[in-house]
Amino acid sequence: MAYTYLISGATSDVGRALIERLLKTAPEGTLVLAQGCGDVEKLAPLCQAYPGMIRPFDVDLSDPYKVDTFCQVLASTCPAPTHFIHLPALPVVNTKFKAFDEPRFAKDMEIQVHSAVKLCKAVLPAMTKARFGRILFIQTSYTLGAPPKNTAAYVMAKQALGGLCKSLAVEYARFGITVNCVAPSMMETNFLKDTPDLIVQASAADNPMGRNATPADVVPAMAFLLSDEAGFITGVTLPVTGGSAIA
């Protein structure tokens, strides 16, 4: 069956890997509505590999008015999404709480949480009517047990997404809609560009598998939670951590 996937943060390393995974064996008629912000050119190789199956959108999710416009454009010009995957976030900045950057935190909350609420409100009515849907958020292993020091802003935003996931899961389960999270440990992607190398290396050394995660480790778990086979799994946060954090 052909599905329509709405992926916010689709230009990220994880987003691009997920698109390739979803489209590799997708039937004709499958469509990915792919949101990025100032970097949609990163989708060009995938658009060439899968012509007509990816529709890029350049939208700044930190601006609530632009998110509202994006929702209106989706409703008026695109098929109703059957799947919604929400990936965007500002890169982690390790900062002591006494130097907490409130404007940056507010921006990250717009990108991660407020836009997720608006986009869920946009896609859920059609999913409810169809009595089918998949929603997936990306959390972090930092929400499992004690988080690392100096990550308050990042952890708070991710915990808010976790609360949204659980609340929606309970409310929409009777409509055949599942809402889940994956929680990777540190992933070596462009997302770590502001993280000191010493922290990245220490995380790899501390992991029971002796390395950090990669998109290739995380995307299969995401694809499973988005699949038809995962229809009785909802409200969960699936750790993908190599054993560094166990729920």
CATH code for the domain of 197:
3.40.50.720
pLDDT at 100 over 80: yes
Which range of residues forms the domain containing residue 233?
4-240
Position 72 in a domain? yes
CA-to-CA separations, 121 to 37, 81, 88, 111, in angstroms, rounded: 21, 12, 17, 15
The verdict on residue 246 lying in a domain is: no
Q: Which of 3, 5, 142, 154 is catalytic?
A: 154
Residue 245 lies in a domain: no
Check residue 198 and give its pLDDT. 85
- Specify the number of domains making up the chain: 1
Please count the residues of the chain: 247
Per-residue pLDDT at 115: 98
- Kind and range of the H or E run holding 108: helix 102-109
Task: Report the half-sphere exposure of 16 (CA within 13 A, side-chain side).
Answer: 17
User: pLDDT band at residue 76, thresholds of 50, 70 and 90?
Assistant: very high
Least Cα distance to 34 among 13, 60, 8 occurs for 8
* Residue 221 covered by a domain: yes
Confidence of residue 42 (pLDDT cuts 50, 70, 90): very high
Q: Is residue 57 part of a domain?
A: yes
> Catalytic site residue 154?
yes
Task: Produce one character per residue of 89-106: b if its CB has 16 or more CB atoms within 10 Å, e if not.
Answer: bbebbeeeeeeeeeeebe
Q: What is the pLDDT of residue 26?
A: 94
70 in a domain, yes or no? yes
Please write the tens of the pLDDT for every residue from 52-66: 999 999 999 999 999
